[in-house]
């Protein structure tokens, strides 16, 4: 084999090796990222998934209007907001966002309900304010420790210490929670995706 043939053979081998490297690099990179550098893919959800999903065993609950939740919140998706000692500015903003979320769901609006849990009786100002939310379910002056315990999550602080939102599915599973300062559009995107793929509620 002459020198020219050896160079040609070497060149073909290098090209083949380069093709193999290009083909395998995504797999090798993914393996290194996952198992060596511990890089985990981010979730496509805005809310934080509760893992594993937490089954709620709620006590019987009665709303301010006299509606009774005997076995959880019923067969609907439910956004729950704990107001704590008082429903201040952030809490009221979240109530407004919750109402908007239901409206923006269009034909799926009936599949979602909003629940407010207050630790204290509503004062006159708050009572007047809530007239703007006729579809809101209000659990007034509720300090039942069993209710709060059900929503307690590791490293998330005391339930009611901030106006966070909790999402409960129609099977009474606490499946997602949101920060007090929510991005309404991203919460809406989450819920639309859930309702689209869900056959329940």
CATH number for the domain harbouring residue 122: 3.40.30.10
When divided into structural domains, the chain yields a total of 2
Whether 46 has a pLDDT exceeding 70, the answer reads: yes
Same domain, 34 and 58: no
Whether 30 has a pLDDT exceeding 60, the answer reads: no
Same domain, 181 and 135: yes
Same domain, 96 and 138: yes
What pTM does this model have? 0.76
Same domain, 190 and 108: yes
pLDDT tens figures, 111-128: 999 999 999 999 999 999
Same domain, 77 and 95: yes
For 29, the domain range is 1-41
Same domain, 4 and 95: no
Q: What is d(CA 111, CA 172) in angstroms, rounded to the nearest whole number? A: 14
Cα Rg of the chain, angstroms: 26
- Is residue 105 within 8 A of residue 192, CB to CB? The reply is yes
pLDDT tens figures, 77-91: 999 999 988 899 999
Q: What is d(CA 42, CA 156) in angstroms, rounded to the nearest whole number? A: 20
Same domain, 64 and 106: yes
Same domain, 36 and 60: no
Q: What is the chain's mean pLDDT, rounded? A: 85
Same domain, 19 and 59: no
Same domain, 19 and 111: no
Same domain, 37 and 53: no
Cα 131 to Cα 81, 92, 139, 164: the distances in Å are 17, 13, 15, 22
pLDDT tens figures, 144-191: 899 999 999 988 888 988 899 999 999 999 999 999 998 999 999 999
Same domain, 57 and 37: no
Buried b / exposed e along 146-184 (16+ C-beta atoms within 10 A)? ebbebbeeeeeeebbebbbbbbbbbebbbbbbbeeebee
């Amino acid at each position: 084999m002459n020198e020219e043939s050896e160079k040609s053979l070497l060149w073909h081998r290098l090209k083949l090796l380069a093709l193999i490297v290009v083909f395998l690099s995504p797999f090798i990179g993914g393996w290194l990222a996952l198992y060596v550098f511990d890089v985990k893919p981010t979730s496509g959800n805005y809310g934080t998934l509760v893992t594993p999903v937490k089954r709620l065993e709620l006590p019987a609950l009665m709303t301010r209007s006299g509606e009774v939740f005997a076995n959880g919140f019923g067969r609907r998706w439910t956004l729950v907001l704990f107001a704590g000692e008082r429903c201040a500015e952030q809490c009221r903003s979240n109530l407004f966002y919750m109402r908007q979320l239901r409206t923006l769901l269009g034909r799926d609006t009936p599949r979602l309900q909003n629940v407010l849990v207050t630790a204290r009786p509503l004062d006159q100002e708050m009572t007047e304010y809530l007239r703007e939310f006729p579809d809101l379910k209000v659990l007034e002056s509720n300090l039942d420790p069993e209710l709060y315990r059900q929503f307690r999550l590791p490293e998330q602080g005391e339930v009611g210490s901030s106006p966070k939102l909790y999402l409960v599915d129609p099977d009474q599973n606490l499946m997602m929670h949101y920060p007090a300062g929510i991005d309404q559009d991203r919460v809406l995107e989450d819920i639309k995706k859930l309702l689209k793929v869900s056959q329940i509620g």
